[in-house]
Amino acid sequence: MNKVNNFLWGASTSGFQVEGGYNLDGKGLSTTDVRQVKEGIADCKVASDHYHHFKEDILLMKELGLKAYRFSFCWARIMPDGHHVNQKGLDFYDQIIHLCLENHIEPIPTLYHFEMPQALVDEFGGWKNRRCIDAFVEYARICFTKWKGIVNYWVTINEQLIAMAASDLNGNHESDKVLQTKNMYQMSYHASLAEKKAMKLLKEIDPKAKIGVVNAVQNVYPYSSSPEDVLAAMDAEELMMYMLLDMSVKGEYSFRVKNILEKMNCSPVKEDGDDEILHAVQPDFIGINYYSSICVKENKTATVNYQLPPFFRSSMFEVCPNEHLKKTKWMANGIDPLGIRSIIYKIYNRYSLPIIITENGMAYSDVLENNQIHDDYRIDYLKSHIKEVLIAKEEGYPIFGYCPWSFIDVVSSHQGFSKRYGLVYVNRTDEDVMDCKRIKKDSFYWYQKVIESNGEKL
């Protein structure tokens, strides 16, 4: 295969899942620091202890051969109360960025990845309040100004739909499930406004830098060829894949989404001037987080199952098993390599923007044996997905990078350290921090060869 030059072979992490150091050097409390975690599940106060191991971790990235490192800033480390700057927080990320550059690794920081200063939730309700828009834009201004001419690629918000759906991540707890769903769409609308204002701001501060959006996308299959199931799949894709990307790129929801939200009584409250903000600028690229596809069928009862996460709640469709896909404990929807290529086709055909795969990975309860991790299952997963990405690339789709999730084991947002994705093992458990020693898995050495060969050797 003729592979692309200057392809960003990378890997990803996120701040609250990897850093630890939750109360060090002036950091404020994040929403993820104060959330309730089930007994026996690790919280993020230590996480993978990247705060004390980042130099070692970046040297491992160099050894792996990474061309890019996608990570996130902890907003509360930079602005503990959401208003005032913590210089030590800026210094921490400055070290990471410059160490990456010294080792020829392109830093790709994300401004918002599932956490925010708890102080802003306490002060005015976080994303429920429009005041959060300007707070986010000021935070973005601090970052863009600090790393002007240094950072070439920025990401605004990671997986906005999930970020606004999960109350333990955004800090807005609501017992009324109907109101919770309504709040999700309103908070998401505020986040879209904040994202657009941040994009415009970067173009003013650092016109040469590029800024993109990252969304969790799932290829949606109809359970059968019945017209009802096909329509259900179309609606599911509109809500779970296109809704937020349409806002990010086109500045508005599709007609179908507007119609659905109106029927759900979930249309967000708008103000004069919002449309101008939403249409003022476009992202430079789209980041795709892909793990698996989903299968849906017609909801024959036309009732909403409020036991599901808010983004799965609908009277129009219900999620069901895909009988054609292999499943595992942590990949309940099935492993679907072809789905990532289908997603690339759909996303590019709709938006015509360059694409980077920002997350793609295999969850497993890895077991350390004789100081080794033999994770052939992860190698098989990554190999099959990279193969599909490169097919799309060879067909001419403008894919400029691939970043598996995750570089090292990170604390899963809801399953702790029993659910691992990393190429590098972190020696700790949910209940014992131990030494957090880094141990390279078999997948590390495999991916190293993939990068060395520029994708020729899978």
For residue 4, the model assigns a pLDDT of: 60
Query: Closest by alpha carbon to 257, among 234, 290, 275, 287?
Result: 234
- Give residues with Cβ within 8 angstroms of 259, minimum separation 6: none
Mean pLDDT of 117-123: 97
pLDDT band for position 2 (50/70/90)? very low
pLDDT band for position 174 (50/70/90)? confident
Looking at residue 41, the DSSP 8-state letter turns out to be S
**For residues 205, 207, 208 and 213, what is the CA-based torsion angle, rounded to 10 degrees?**
90
Domain count, the chain: 1
Whether 3 is in a domain gets the answer no
**Is the N-terminal amide bond of 406 cis, ω within 30° of 0?**
yes
pLDDT band for position 308 (50/70/90)? low
Whether 153 is in a domain gets the answer yes
Whether 282 is in a domain gets the answer yes
Q: Structure pTM? A: 0.95
The token duo for 131 is 């005041």
Which is more confidently placed, 308 or 282? 282
pLDDT band for position 310 (50/70/90)? low
Mean pLDDT of 263-289: 96
**Contact assessment for residue 66 and residue 454, using Cβ atoms and an 8 Å cutoff:** no
Whether 458 is in a domain gets the answer no
Across 224-257, b (16+ Cβ under 10 Å) vs e yields eeeebbbebbbbbbbbbbbbbbbbbbebebbebb
Residue 195 to residue 277: CA distance in whole angstroms? 10
Mean pLDDT of 334-351: 97
The tens digit of pLDDT for each residue in 60-90 reads 999 999 999 999 999 999 999 999 999 999 9
Mean pLDDT of 8-32: 96
Query: Closest by alpha carbon to 176, among 306, 304, 269?
Result: 306
pLDDT band for position 178 (50/70/90)? confident
> Domain containing 150 — which CATH number?
3.20.20.80
Residue 34 to residue 18: CA distance in whole angstroms? 16
Whether 222 is in a domain gets the answer yes
Residue 77 to residue 29: CA distance in whole angstroms? 8
The token duo for 236 is 């599911």
Check whether 176 has a pLDDT greater than 90: no
Whether 217 is in a domain gets the answer yes
Give the distance, in angstroms, between the CA of residue 180 and the centroid of all CA atoms in the same chain.
22
Query: Closest by alpha carbon to 111, among 51, 52, 169, 70?
Result: 70
Check whether 39 has a pLDDT greater than 90: no
Q: What is the domain extent for residue 171?
A: 8-452
Catalytic residue numbers?
A: 159, 359
Lowest-pLDDT choice from 117-131, 218-232, 296-310, 384-398: 296-310
pLDDT band for position 1 (50/70/90)? very low
Whether 2 is in a domain gets the answer no
Whole-number Cα distances in Å, 82 to 27, 37, 119, 141: 11, 24, 7, 13
Residue 359 dihedral angles phi and psi, to the nearest 5°: -150, 140
Whole-number Cα distances in Å, 121 to 176, 178, 442: 19, 21, 42
Check whether 303 has a pLDDT greater than 80: no
For residue 38, the model assigns a pLDDT of: 87
Residue 192 to residue 170: CA distance in whole angstroms? 15
The token duo for 101 is 């550059």
Whether 1 is in a domain gets the answer no
